[in-house]
Chains A and B, each alone.
Chain A
Amino acid sequence: MKEFSQLINQLILTRSRNRKIELLNHYFKNTENPDRGLALAILTGNLKIKNISISKIKELIKKEFDPELFDLSYDYVGDLAETIALIWPYKQKGKVPKLNFIIDELESSSTTNITKLIKKYLSIFSENERWAFIKLLSGGLRIGVSTRLTKLSLIHNTTIEISEIEQIWHGVVPPYNKLFNWIFGKGAKPEIEVEKVFHPLMLAHPIEKKDFNNLKPEEFLAEWKWDGIRVQLVLFKSKIRIFSRTGDDISHTFPEIQNNENDLVVLDGELLVGNDFTPLKFNKLQQRLNRKKVSKVHLENFPAFVKLYDILFLKNRDLRNLGFSKRREILLDWHDKVQNKFFDLSEVVKFKTWAELTNIKSKKLNKSEHEGLMIKRKNSAYISGRPKGHWYKWKNEPLVVDAIMMYAQRGHGKRSSYYSDFTFGLWDQNNIVPICKAYFGFSNEELEILDKFVRGNTINKFGPVREVEKKFVVEIAFDSVDFSKRHKSGVALRFPRIKRLRRDKPINEVINIDLFKENFIAS
């Protein structure tokens, strides 16, 4: 634990990417199994301690410490782990155990014992160790180290390629002993079971106007970018596993999707809901996500299906090194043959010139089931991650509305001292009604302006939330909007973000909610 807390303390304060990689590499080289593997799991978000949650941690601290002083402190610091590390009120003597011992003990604790154990450790630890410990418990380090950077540090000064790590990553589990042995030359490359694991997806770069000049249209295929959730399907022995784009197994959320094939097949596609392969709006699909139980009503009203984009494996053959158009042919054949009623093919949009494609896209603009177009290079292999020059996404222009700032809260992580989380509203007769929260899209300079405005114009405080004088107008960009019973305004915006500050605009020029609904929600 000492070494791990030291490592992440150094990492959070290190700016240079190369130095971060060196620090991590040094740690991995000089730490033994299984501690280094557990550290790797924590750094990549693959270690979840059961029986403990953030709300339980907060409950625990509020029993040990004046709750109001805790809340004020937490609001100021903006990071739970750091707040607790700084205010933990008492100390006990004790030896700081190894990471491995601590995690074992936590994982074998019951719900009632675990709080006792956590208290014991908090009392033994130094401030830095407390900080690392709460981070470990709550997940999400926020120390400026991405999973990608951590993986790069593993292969630093070796001949192993990052793509090799990506290909086996989801087939290896903490504490990754075999992985480390291979990397440090003490064992063979870990074998993975293709049929059981997630194979990281290939992602696209946003296309910009100037890109078109350098791209030859005949080298590309276009297809619609469907507005559902990207999934990977792993079919094997009449079973199917559905993975989200981050590799979470979400099969249980969509039990209706079945597979009768015995062969191993790995597919890439978009999961949507609707009848006869006609997708409903995203918010219908959303109602089915993150539920523990699948309701009959949902199954009947919003049945799921998948638009297939790509094929990665067929039988025991890895197709990822073939070109995209070749893979698509194989996908077509396979789809024809199996006749699975849950699988539809993503259609290719035919075009000869970029001008023609632009024209097709603009005609479809108001069809909300499309987020835009995907443009894929015909001869590109399927490369995990976001490789440059292969796949492009051409999103629809966002919708925009001017709205009035109503409330603000301090941000977390790297924005912890700033008021950076805002609620915006529109007129509803003589009142202002909130339509969305937005906490990104602005530049650092704009954040300074917003933060200063909040500090200087607070009219009310509700715990950490500040109500501000209603005079700051901001242009909000969003992808779509729909009716919602859960919000007072009756609308829910998708992916709202701050586009521009409109200090020039008086609040009486902001539209009212009825007009907003009329303009933006197609009936």
Chain B
Amino acid sequence: MDWVNKHLQIVPINTFIDPIFPVENAIITHAHADHAKPGHKNVLATKHTIKIMKIRYGENCANNFQELSFNSPLNINGVKVTFFPAGHILGSAQVLLEYQKDKINFTGDFKITKDDTCENFRPVTCDTLVTEATFGLPIFQHPDPEVEINKLINSLKNFSNRPHLIGVYALGKAQRLIKLLRNKGYDETIFIHGALEKICDYYVQSGINLGNLSKALIKGEKKDFNGKIILAPPSALKSTWSRRFIDPILSHASGWMSVKQRAKQSLVELPLLISDHADWNELTSNINNSLAKNILVTHGREEALVHWCKKRGLKASALSIQGRDDSGEEI
């Protein structure tokens, strides 16, 4: 497998996957900030990824964009590139590379659990699997998101005099949480922080109905937010912005919330275990289903996953990728 190196560079075509520094040719798996950086010369990605990159970084954040649809192979100087849905956020792709007789699949960030706000994950078989490991420990077993949504809806009933301020990542998590609530029949206005607006609009334009959304501005009285849901990026929960809400219940929708002590540290009272990443069971079942004999782990808690693979006779090692360290929050 010497044609792809540990910087995730595809050597024969001098192309990098999700490079964190500006390069000549980049394949971008999805539009989250630690995978999609501005300043590349040529970008190959799905339609949604390109659109969202342009919304976030501006129309000219790369010199050339080339769209590639799912399941339609593209031949670049002998390397066949195919995108498959990764089920992580809108537009997120796995990248299958075929060169000579070798098949390598890059999962990018992925989840297998069904999600009505993006193209759902498709299993891919390959010789070498390059997998993420954000939740690569057996303690991470995400519950059914419906259970978590019920928790939220119950809390709204029990604490109808307190605003429910939920930390969500602006791209993907926010829209998924809204959609899950709508699917449960919650049809009240959901308030959003300004940082969520553009991406929500884009999801709606793309045909994902999110119901009635409103910016969380103070027009009437502060207590108008009581018993209501307000979504904001996690960083805003502790900022001055959040002072407009009286005695809010702080919540955070994230896979990290499974560890109570972590939730407590971040002052979260209502942890919602909703993740856009594969949990331990999905990570391991995907390794099995891929039929790959060689496993490379890109980022997250690599050690445990590598150990798990080796115990099953698979070749496995960790790629430590700069810019995605283990202290970071889920994105």
A residues lining the B interface (CB < 8 Å): 9, 12-15, 65-66, 68-69, 72-73, 76-79, 82-83, 86-87, 131, 144, 413-414, 416-417, 451-452, 455
Residues of B within 8 A of A413 (CB): 261
Residues of A within 8 A of B326 (CB): 455
Residues of A within 8 A of B137 (CB): 69, 72-73, 76
In the bound assembly, the distance between CA atoms of A83 and B269 in angstroms comes to: 20
| Contact present for B261 and A87 (CB under 8 Å) | no
Interchain CB contact (< 8 A) of A13 among B138, B269, B327: B269
Shortest CB distance B310–A (Å): 10
| Contact present for B267 and A15 (CB under 8 Å) | yes
In the bound assembly, the distance between CA atoms of A265 and B97 in angstroms comes to: 85
Whether B170 sits at the interface, judged by CB under 8 Å, is: no
Interchain CB contact (< 8 A) of A72 among B261, B271, B301: B301
| Contact present for B264 and A13 (CB under 8 Å) | yes
Residues of B within 8 A of A86 (CB): 138-141, 258-259
In the bound assembly, the distance between CA atoms of A455 and B320 in angstroms comes to: 13
In the bound assembly, the distance between CA atoms of A502 and B265 in angstroms comes to: 27
For this complex, 14 residue pairs linking A to B, each with C-beta atoms less than 8 Å apart, are A9-B260, A12-B261, A13-B260, A13-B271, A15-B267, A68-B304, A69-B307, A73-B304, A76-B301, A82-B259, A86-B140, A87-B139, A413-B261, A417-B261
Interchain CB contact (< 8 A) of B261 among A14, A15, A416: A416
Whether B268 sits at the interface, judged by CB under 8 Å, is: yes
In the bound assembly, the distance between CA atoms of A9 and B263 in angstroms comes to: 11
Interchain CB contact (< 8 A) of B139 among A14, A73, A414, A455: A73
In the bound assembly, the distance between CA atoms of A144 and B269 in angstroms comes to: 13
Whether B270 sits at the interface, judged by CB under 8 Å, is: yes
| Contact present for A72 and B258 (CB under 8 Å) | no
Instruction: Decide yes or no: A77 and B311 within 8 Å by CB, A13-B268, A72-B303, A87-B138 being known contacts.
Output: no
In the bound assembly, the distance between CA atoms of A452 and B270 in angstroms comes to: 28
In the bound assembly, the distance between CA atoms of A455 and B307 in angstroms comes to: 21
Residues of A within 8 A of B271 (CB): 13
Residues of A within 8 A of B267 (CB): 15
Instruction: Decide yes or no: A68 and B261 within 8 Å by CB, A14-B269, A86-B141, A87-B138 being known contacts.
Output: no
Interchain CB contact (< 8 A) of A66 among B260, B265, B270, B311: B311
Shortest CB distance B212–A (Å): 30
Residues of B within 8 A of A455 (CB): 325-327
Closest 8 CB pairs of A and B: A86-B139, A416-B261, A72-B304, A73-B139, A87-B138, A13-B269, A73-B137, A69-B138
In the bound assembly, the distance between CA atoms of A79 and B270 in angstroms comes to: 20
In the bound assembly, the distance between CA atoms of A342 and B325 in angstroms comes to: 61
| Contact present for B261 and A78 (CB under 8 Å) | yes
In the bound assembly, the distance between CA atoms of A68 and B139 in angstroms comes to: 13
In the bound assembly, the distance between CA atoms of A494 and B301 in angstroms comes to: 37
| Contact present for A417 and B311 (CB under 8 Å) | no
Shortest CB distance B135–A (Å): 11
In the bound assembly, the distance between CA atoms of A12 and B261 in angstroms comes to: 8
Instruction: Decide yes or no: A417 and B260 within 8 Å by CB, A72-B137, A72-B303, A73-B304 being known contacts.
Output: no
Interchain CB contact (< 8 A) of A417 among B265, B270, B303, B307: B265
Whether B308 sits at the interface, judged by CB under 8 Å, is: yes
Residues of B within 8 A of A83 (CB): 139
In the bound assembly, the distance between CA atoms of A14 and B268 in angstroms comes to: 8
In the bound assembly, the distance between CA atoms of A69 and B305 in angstroms comes to: 9
| Contact present for A12 and B264 (CB under 8 Å) | yes
| Contact present for B307 and A68 (CB under 8 Å) | yes
Shortest CB distance B280–A (Å): 9
Interface centre among B140, B264, B301, B311 (most CB of A within 10 A): B264
In the bound assembly, the distance between CA atoms of A86 and B270 in angstroms comes to: 18
Whether B7 sits at the interface, judged by CB under 8 Å, is: no
Whether B262 sits at the interface, judged by CB under 8 Å, is: yes
How does the 8 Å CB contact mask read for B206-249 relative to A, with 1 for contact and 0 for none? 00000000000000000000000000000000000000000000
Shortest CB distance A284–B (Å): 39
Shortest CB distance A81–B (Å): 10
Shortest CB distance B232–A (Å): 18
In the bound assembly, the distance between CA atoms of A404 and B308 in angstroms comes to: 36
Instruction: Decide yes or no: A416 and B138 within 8 Å by CB, A13-B269, A14-B269, A72-B303 being known contacts.
Output: no
CB-CB contacts below 8 Å: B32-84 with A: none
Instruction: Decide yes or no: A144 and B303 within 8 Å by CB, A66-B311, A73-B139 being known contacts.
Output: no
Shortest CB distance B271–A (Å): 7
Instruction: Decide yes or no: A12 and B325 within 8 Å by CB, A66-B311, A73-B139 being known contacts.
Output: no
In the bound assembly, the distance between CA atoms of A72 and B135 in angstroms comes to: 12
| Contact present for B263 and A13 (CB under 8 Å) | yes
Instruction: Decide yes or no: A77 and B259 within 8 Å by CB, A87-B138, A144-B264, A455-B325 being known contacts.
Output: yes
Shortest CB distance B72–A (Å): 39
Residues of B within 8 A of A417 (CB): 261-262, 265
Instruction: Decide yes or no: A416 and B259 within 8 Å by CB, A69-B138, A76-B139 being known contacts.
Output: yes
CB-CB contacts below 8 Å: B269-299 with A: 269-271
Q: Quick one: closest B residue to A455, CB to CB?
A: B327
Q: Quick one: closest B residue to A83, CB to CB?
A: B139
Q: Quick one: closest A residue to B259, CB to CB?
A: A77
In the bound assembly, the distance between CA atoms of A452 and B261 in angstroms comes to: 19
In the bound assembly, the distance between CA atoms of A131 and B260 in angstroms comes to: 10
| Contact present for A15 and B269 (CB under 8 Å) | yes
In the bound assembly, the distance between CA atoms of A69 and B308 in angstroms comes to: 8
Residues of A within 8 A of B311 (CB): 66
Residues of B within 8 A of A131 (CB): 260
In the bound assembly, the distance between CA atoms of A65 and B311 in angstroms comes to: 13
Instruction: Decide yes or no: A69 and B304 within 8 Å by CB, A87-B138, A455-B325 being known contacts.
Output: yes
Shortest CB distance B75–A (Å): 41
| Contact present for B304 and A13 (CB under 8 Å) | no
Shortest CB distance A331–B (Å): 46
In the bound assembly, the distance between CA atoms of A83 and B260 in angstroms comes to: 10
Shortest CB distance A165–B (Å): 27
| Contact present for A12 and B260 (CB under 8 Å) | yes
In the bound assembly, the distance between CA atoms of A87 and B264 in angstroms comes to: 20
In the bound assembly, the distance between CA atoms of A464 and B252 in angstroms comes to: 28
In the bound assembly, the distance between CA atoms of A87 and B261 in angstroms comes to: 16
In the bound assembly, the distance between CA atoms of A65 and B280 in angstroms comes to: 14
In the bound assembly, the distance between CA atoms of A79 and B260 in angstroms comes to: 10
Shortest CB distance A70–B (Å): 8
Residues of A within 8 A of B141 (CB): 86
| Contact present for B261 and A13 (CB under 8 Å) | no
Residues of A within 8 A of B261 (CB): 12, 77-79, 82, 413-414, 416-417
Shortest CB distance B272–A (Å): 12
Instruction: Decide yes or no: A13 and B270 within 8 Å by CB, A72-B301, A77-B139 being known contacts.
Output: yes
**Given A13-B268, A72-B301, 19 more contacts at CB 8 Å?**
A9-B260, A13-B260, A13-B270, A14-B269, A15-B267, A69-B304, A69-B307, A72-B303, A73-B139, A79-B261, A82-B259, A82-B261, A86-B138, A131-B260, A414-B261, A414-B264, A417-B261, A417-B262, A455-B325
Q: Quick one: closest B residue to A19, CB to CB?
A: B269
In the bound assembly, the distance between CA atoms of A12 and B311 in angstroms comes to: 37
Q: Quick one: closest A residue to B307, CB to CB?
A: A68
Q: Quick one: closest A residue to B266, CB to CB?
A: A417
In the bound assembly, the distance between CA atoms of A87 and B281 in angstroms comes to: 11
In the bound assembly, the distance between CA atoms of A86 and B137 in angstroms comes to: 10
Shortest CB distance A16–B (Å): 9
In the bound assembly, the distance between CA atoms of A432 and B137 in angstroms comes to: 35
Shortest CB distance A11–B (Å): 10
In the bound assembly, the distance between CA atoms of A65 and B140 in angstroms comes to: 15
Residues of B within 8 A of A76 (CB): 137, 139, 259, 301
In the bound assembly, the distance between CA atoms of A413 and B260 in angstroms comes to: 10
Interface centre among A68, A86, A414, A455 (most CB of B within 10 A): A86
